[in-house]
Structure 1
Amino acid sequence: MLTHLKLDNFKIWSSTGAMRLAPITLLLGTNSAGKSTLIQSLLLIRQTVKGDDPNLDLNLGNPDADDSVTLGQFKDLLCRHSGESEAIKTNQVGIEFKWVESGLPEEAAIFSARYRQGPGGSAELDYLRLGKDGQGFLVERRKPGIYRLQLGSEHRSVGQSPQFRPQRSFAFAPSAIASLGARGELIRGIGPALLDELGKIIYLGPVRRLAQRDYVWAGRMPASIGDDGAKAVDALIASGVALQAAIKRRKDPPAEAQLFQHAIYWLQRMGLADGLSVRGLGGSARYELLIESQGGRSNLKDVGVGVSQVLPVIVSALFAEPGHIVIIEEPESHLHPLAQSILAELFSQVSRERNVQFIVETHSEHLFRRMQTLMARGAITSQDCGLYFVEREGKHARLHTLEADESGRIRNWPDKFFGDSVGEARAQAQAVAQRMREKANG
């Protein structure tokens, strides 16, 4: 689980300060305030360490390569309105996060990196600290291409060399490990541990794939659902076919069928459908996903767009395995208020029962209010839920931690957090009174 995030000089963020990431973290705020940038920083490191180019210190993204984020050149990444601090220089970008597997804070590992402008608009690693205290390593750029290495368990540096430049900002070449002898074995697993943690991220963006009339299914459960949810229906088809086969043979449904069954449950809770079914087309590899409602069945393409947009959200939550991290932007897209509020119950239940972390960027008051209700009911605690409001102050983004008590009440509401609902009610009452006076005098 990710437990901490800090950005310096990163796009609109001069500095976020240390941000606690909880089992459920909600990012709220105005448009273009910097919420998505918080998510982009994690996706940026993920696509860097999962890449295949050892010469890229930071993979800023290629729109033709299906990268999760495309951020241009280093100059586009650098905050233009930031001053130098003790932690970072004005020409550097800093990204830091911590994660823990055991749940014990003292077992937390850290990724803390600083980058500078490199050749051809690229980003060049300036500093990297990676791993647990006393077990990781630290590298610093001394001059172009030369890095000094210090092992976490030692007070003096090993030395400096071109081979101590970490590949893709996380791991050393085999030759560098070999040159360290027995000490190399101490850090061999540090980079792969980061790769494993970032590999647990399931990301679902705000623009999701629209429904199709039918789908070509490869006959197996997909390995992922895609950043736009393109494979979410494939996952449902795989699960639905497994369920139908078990029913036909009069056997207990296999574990693979649970995704389909649980998706139906949440659609029912949201008032969006009574059921789902899968239908093959003429013995081919093409399948329909049918929405059952009020005794009838309709093709997914023929029902409201809200159903096709929320299905990837439901599937991403149910698809996640224990220890996974689900990052979702605007899960409430095209949903009515009741369905939006039920999303809070989906996230809290899956997080609690299956140890799945959620980082959710949302504008939904209904989702947020239901999360408060769940705190009041004791279904989750204030420590389980990190609540943040992001706003723009001039050229900078500001992060406000919302302080919730055990009943879900917020102690420090920002001004007009969800608009001025009290003011709207007052204006409505005044307008009604004015019209009544006009009728009485008319």
Structure 2
Amino acid sequence: MLTHLKLDNFKIWRSTGAMRLAPITLLLGTNSSGKSSLIQSLLLIRQTVKGDDPNLDLNLGNPDEGDSVTLGQFKDLLCRHGGESEAIKANQVGVEFKWSESGQPEEATIFSARYRQGPGGSAELDYLRLGKDGQGFFVARRRPGIYRLQLGAEHRPVGQSPHFRPQRSFAFAASAIASLGTRGELIRDIGPALLDELGKIIYLGPVRRLAQRDYIWAGRMPASIGDDGARAVDALIASGVALQAAHRGRKAPPAEAQLFQQTIHWLKEMGLADGLTIRALGGSARYELLIENQGSKSNLKDVGVGVSQVLPVIVSALFAEPGHIVIIEEPESHLHPLAQSLLAELFAQISRERKVQFIVETHSEHLFRRMQTLVAKQEISTVAEAAMYFVEREHNYARLRELELDAFGRVRNWPEGFFGDALGETREQARLMFERQKGAKS
């Protein structure tokens, strides 16, 4: 689980400060305030670490390669109004996060990196710290291509060499590990541990794939549902076919069938459907997904867009395994208020029962209000289980405000204009009603 995030001079952020990440983290705020940049920083490191080019210190993204984020060149990443501090220079970008299997901060592993302008608009690693306190390693750029290495348990640097430049900002070449002898074994597994943690991220972007009339299914459960949810229906088909086979054989449904059954449950709870049906089209690999409502069945393409947009959200939550990190932008897209509020119930239940972490960027007042209710009902603890942030613009850069909720879910530090001026609207309606009544009497 990710427990901490800190950005310096990253896009619109001069500095986020130390940001606490909880099992459920909500990011709220106005448009273009910097919420998405928080998520992009994690996806940026993920696509760098999972890439196959050892010469890229930071993979800023290529749309033709299917990268999760495309951020241009280093100059586009660097905050235009950035500042210098003890930790970072004005011409550097800093990304830092921590993760812990137990969720306890004292057991956390840290990734802390600083980047500078490199050749051809690229980003060049300037500093990297990776590992737990007293373990891991520190790497600092001394001059172009030369890096100084220090092991976390040692007070003196090992030395400096081109071999000590971490590949893809996280791991050393086999020759570098071998050159360290027995000390190399101390840091061999640290990079792969980061790769494993970032591999647990399931990301679902704000623009999701529209419904299709039928789907070609490969015959297996997909390994992922895709950043746009394109393979969410494939996962449902795999689960639905497994359920149908169990029914035909009069056997108990296998574990694989639970995704289909639980998706139906949440669609019912949200008032979006009474059921789902998977139907094969002839003897081909094509299948259609039918939505059941009030005794009739309709193709997914023929029902409201809200159903096709929320299916990847539900599937991503149910698809996650213990320890996974589900990052979702605008899960409420095209949903009516009740369904939006029940998303909070979905995230809370899956997080609690399966130990799945959710980082959710949303504009939904209904989702947030239900989270407040869950806090009031003591189903969620704001200390251990939830963190809620309001992101706002302050002149030319973003500012982060952690919302303080009391035991009854009430916000102590409510930002001005958080969800509009509901009280002001009520006053205006009452004034107009009074004026009309007065005019009618006269």
Task: Identify the TM-score tier after normalising by the shorter chain.
Answer: over 0.9
The SS at the match of 2:113 is strand
The match for 1:34 is: 34
Distance 1:249 1:297 in 2: 25
Spell out, residue by residue over 1:232-275, the C-alpha distance to the aligned partner (whole angstroms, 9 max, x if none). Answer: 00000000000011011110000000000000000000000000
The equivalent of 1:210 in structure 2 is 210
Determine the C-alpha separation between the residues in 2 that align with 1:61 and 1:19. 25
Detail structure 1 runs of 4+ shifted over 6 Å in the superposition.
Answer: none
Q: Which residue of 2 is the match for residue 414 of structure 1?
A: 415
* Distance in structure 2 (CA, Å) of the matches to 1:184 and 1:83: 37
Paired residue type of 1:344? A
Structure 1 residue 359, shift from structure 2 partner: 0.1
Distance 1:371 1:244 in 2: 36
The residue aligned with 2:390 is: 389
1:18-58 Cα distance to aligned partner (Å, 9 max, x none): 00000000000000000000000000000000000000000
Aligned partner of residue 267 in structure 1, secondary structure:
helix
Give 1:358 shift: 0.1
Displacement of 1:432 in angstroms is 1.1
Which aligned pairs between 1:239-278 and structure 2 lie closer than 5 A?
239-278=239-278
2:153 is paired with a residue whose SS is: coil
Residues 85-109 of structure 1: per-residue CA shift (max 9 Å, x gap): 1111010000000000133322100
Q: Give the superposition deviation at 1:281.
A: 0.1
1:12 corresponds to: 12
Letter in 1 for 2:397: H
SS in 1 for 2:390: strand
C-alpha distance in structure 1 between counterparts of 2:83 and 2:54, whole Å: 32
8 Å CA contact 2:91, 2:116 repeated in 1: yes
Deviation (angstroms), 1:169: 0.1
The offset of 1:110, in angstroms, is: 0.2
Q: Residue by residue, what CA displacement relative to the aligned partner does 1:271-304 show, whole Å, maximum 9, x if unpaired?
A: 0000001000001100000000000000000000
Q: Secondary structure at the match of 1:111?
A: strand
Match of 2:50 in 1: 50
Aligned residue for 2:240, secondary structure, equals: helix
Q: Structure 2 matches for 1:93-172, cutoff 5 A?
A: 93-172=93-172
Between the aligned residues of both structures, percent identity stands at 82
Letter in 2 for 1:421: A
Q: Which amino acid aligns with 2:438?
A: R
Q: Tell me what 1:424 maps to.
A: 425
Task: Give the distance between the partners of 1:306 and 1:356, measured in 2 at CA.
Answer: 25
**Unaligned residue ranges in structure 1 (runs of 5+):** none
Q: TM-score, normalised by structure 1?
A: 0.99
Shift of 1:397: 0.3
Structure 2 residue runs of 5 or longer lacking an equivalent are none
- Write the distance in 1 (CA, Å) between the matches of 2:102 and 2:405: 26
Written as runs of structure 1 = structure 2, the 5 A alignment for 1:279-318 is 279-318=279-318
Q: CA deviation at 1:378?
A: 1.2
Alignment partner, residue 439 of structure 1: 440
Question: How far does residue 135 in structure 1 lie from its aligned partner after superposition?
Answer: 1.4
Could you say what secondary structure the match of 2:210 adopts?
coil
**In structure 1, C-alpha distance between the alignment counterparts of 2:22 and 2:438, rounded to whole Å:** 53
Q: Tell whether the 8 Å contact from 2:2 to 2:103 is kept in structure 1 after alignment.
A: no
Alignment length, in residue pairs?
441
CA RMSD after TM alignment: 0.6
SS in 2 for 1:334: coil
Give the match for residue 179 of structure 1: 179
Q: What is the rounded CA distance, in whole Å, between the counterparts of 2:102 and 2:375 in structure 1?
A: 25
Structure 1 counterpart of 2:357 = 357
3-state SS of paired residue (1:390): strand
2:287 counterpart SS class: strand
* Distance in 1 (alpha carbons) for counterparts of 2:407 and 2:258: 33
One-letter code aligned to 2:433: V
SS of alignment partner, residue 171 of structure 1: coil
- Give the letter aligned to residue 350 of structure 2: V
Of the structure 1 ranges 404-413 and 389-398, higher mean CA displacement relative to structure 2 is found in 404-413
Instruction: Check if 1:61 corresponds to 2:58.
Output: no
When normalised by structure 2's length, the TM-score is: 0.99
**Is 1:222 aligned to residue 231 of structure 2?**
no
Using the TM superposition, give the Cα deviation of residue 435 of structure 1 relative to its aligned residue in structure 2, in angstroms: 1.3
